Amino acid sequence: MSAAKVLRRPVPGSAFSWYPTMMGIKQRQVDALNAQLTAQDPLLQKLQKKQPVRVSVTGGAGNIGYSLLFRIANGELLGPDQPVEISAVELPHAYQALQGVAMELEDCAFPLLEKLNITDNAEECFDGCEIALLVGSKPRGPGMERADLMRDNGVIFKETGQVLNRMAEKYCRVTVVGNPCNTNALIACNHAPDLQARNFTAMTRLDHDRAIGFMARKTMLPPNEINHLAIWGNHSATMFPDLSDTLCHGVPWSELIGEFRAERYWRHEFLPKIQSRGARIIQVRGKSSAASAANACLSHTRDWCLGSPQPDWLSMGVVSDGEWGVPAGLVFSYPVYCENGGYKIVTDEDHPNNDWHTRTEFKRYHIERNVQELLAERDMVADLL
Ligand code: NAX
């Protein structure tokens, strides 16, 4: 299968695909390219000068949108000293609800909110957009097949990609939240050829944070003591929460819990619980996650634009360049480091435990399952790509 079948243009790093990876030879080329792109990045320059940044949000009156907008206006996306201009779009039938949200936003008198624009016209919303948070999409209705949902939402993200291409700034960062977020990000990316492919990401941060929360409770440590945890693959029940390199208070977690119990806990308790956490929340709350999803969207985009604490890593759905055997062009969740307004996928050399054969096999098996699922999703929406 050729990369072009997945993504209609090469990701920047593809230029180095023939470079050997040994001794970091390929990585150095990719790093040099990233440094060059960073040096000319207008978004980073605006952030340095504290000039207002234009953030566009779709689905502003929805569950997640309602949590998200107030926190962006409060400086929780780009920092407590960074002014923002928010532009939110809704479907015509929900526009009145969005007007209500805008009234509440005005009533908060947020000092960082320089401008607020609400509309039911996507072109107006994305005009000059620098950060796009794509939340608006159709939720899965009763009796609806996943394939139907994928097609309905695929059409939304195709149109959104086209509008982004026409209206948004060329350096715009795009975070896709609406499900199925990996495939939606792929569709939007394909329809915005003037924007860089590496600037399209899908949000798997909620799964990452859920996994950290679980480990924190298991080990009775605060969440910031749980490091090097990763979510691989698709944002679906197939995702792979990976504990092979996880440290708790700087110690390999299996040493804390005990080798045998750790392995059992991971495979039979942790993994299924993280994979089905979203469904469990719907069961208990009666609605899908909203505040935690909005929080994850903020953390994902903030770390991407402002950098993430290192040497720890976090999880992001990004356009693959063939890393870890994933077909180039698929939007796949990887562990990444974020710096200088970009991200870098964690490589084999960053994994201290990569020689542990059984765990590597376990990981490879799950990565392959996710690749197969994402390829099947891509085939379902082939005509939209
Ligand atoms: P809601 O149904 O509450 O809100 C969606 C809003 O989007 C609605 O107000 C709707 O009018 C609007 N909308 C739909 N199509 C639009 C379009 N073309 N342009 C502008 N607005 C549009 O859903 P909510 O709970 O907010 O969830 C939004 C999306 O996030 C869903 O697709 C959901 O599946 C997804 N999620 C993704 C998560 C992730 O981790 N990636 C977790 C949470 C959530 O399940």
Ligand 1 binding pocket includes 24 (Cβ within 6 Å): no
pLDDT at 108: 97
Residue nearest to atom 13 of ligand 1 (CA): 136
Please report the atom of ligand 1 found closest to the CA of residue 289: 43
Q: How many CB atoms lie within 10 A of CB 216?
A: 16
pLDDT at 165: 96
Residue nearest to atom 20 of ligand 1 (CA): 90
Residue span(s) of the chain under CATH 3.40.50.720 come to 49-202
pLDDT at 20: 77
Tokens standing for 381?
């929406």
Ligand 1 binding pocket includes 137 (Cβ within 6 Å): yes
CA of residue 115 to ligand 1 center, whole Å: 24
pLDDT 10s digit of each residue in the chain, 385 long?
Answer: 444 455 555 555 566 667 777 777 877 877 787 777 777 889 999 999 999 999 999 999 999 999 999 999 999 999 999 999 999 999 999 999 999 999 999 999 999 999 999 999 999 999 999 999 999 998 776 666 777 788 889 999 999 999 999 999 999 999 999 999 999 999 999 999 999 899 999 999 999 999 999 999 999 999 999 999 999 999 999 999 999 889 999 998 888 888 888 889 999 999 999 999 988 998 898 888 999 999 999 999 999 999 999 889 999 999 998 888 899 889 999 999 998 888 989 887 776 555 555 567 888 999 999 999 999 999 988 888 8
Q: How far apart, in whole angstroms, are the C-alpha atoms of residue 325 and residue 209?
A: 25
Ligand 1 binding pocket includes 177 (Cβ within 6 Å): yes
pLDDT at 260: 84
> Which residue type does 272 have?
P
pLDDT at 361: 83
Please report the atom of ligand 1 found closest to the CA of residue 138: 14
Residue nearest to atom 15 of ligand 1 (CA): 137
CA of residue 349 to ligand 1 center, whole Å: 38
Q: How far apart, in whole angstroms, are the C-alpha atoms of residue 229 and residue 330?
A: 22
Residue nearest to atom 31 of ligand 1 (CA): 178
Of 1.10.1740.10, 3.90.110.10, 3.40.50.720, 3.30.9.10, which CATH number belongs to 205-378?
3.90.110.10
pTM of the model: 0.91
Ligand 1 binding pocket includes 317 (Cβ within 6 Å): no
User: What CATH homologous superfamily does 49-202 map to?
Assistant: NAD(P)-binding Rossmann-like Domain (3.40.50.720)
Question: Residues in the chain, how many?
Answer: 385
Please list the residues that pair with 232 across neighbouring strands: 240
Buried b (16+ CB within 10 A) or exposed e, 288-305: bbbebbbbbbbbbbbbbb
Q: How far apart, in whole angstroms, are the C-alpha atoms of residue 172 and residue 132?
A: 7
CA of residue 62 to ligand 1 center, whole Å: 6
Helices assigned H by DSSP within 109-145: 122-126
pLDDT at 146: 72
Residue span(s) of the chain under CATH 3.90.110.10 come to 205-378
Q: What is residue 224's three-state secondary structure?
A: helix
Ligand 1 binding pocket includes 201 (Cβ within 6 Å): no
Residue pair 200/330 in contact (Cβ under 8 Å)? The answer is: no
Ligand 1 binding pocket includes 67 (Cβ within 6 Å): no
Ligand 1 binding pocket includes 257 (Cβ within 6 Å): no
Return the closest-CA partner of residue 151 out of 338, 368, 337, 381.
381
Annotate 171-208 with DSSP letters as a single string.
T-EEEE-SSSHHHHHHHHHHT-TTS-GGGEEE--HHHH
Please report the atom of ligand 1 found closest to the CA of residue 203: 41
Residue pair 67/291 in contact (Cβ under 8 Å)? The answer is: yes
E strands within the chain? 53-58, 84-89, 113-119, 131-134, 173-176, 200-202, 226-227, 230-232, 240-242, 247-248, 251-252, 314-319, 331-339, 342-345
CA of residue 65 to ligand 1 center, whole Å: 8
Measure Cα distances from 191 to 55, 99, 186, 275 in Å: 20, 30, 9, 30
Q: How far apart, in whole angstroms, are the C-alpha atoms of residue 213 and residue 274?
A: 10
pLDDT at 275: 92
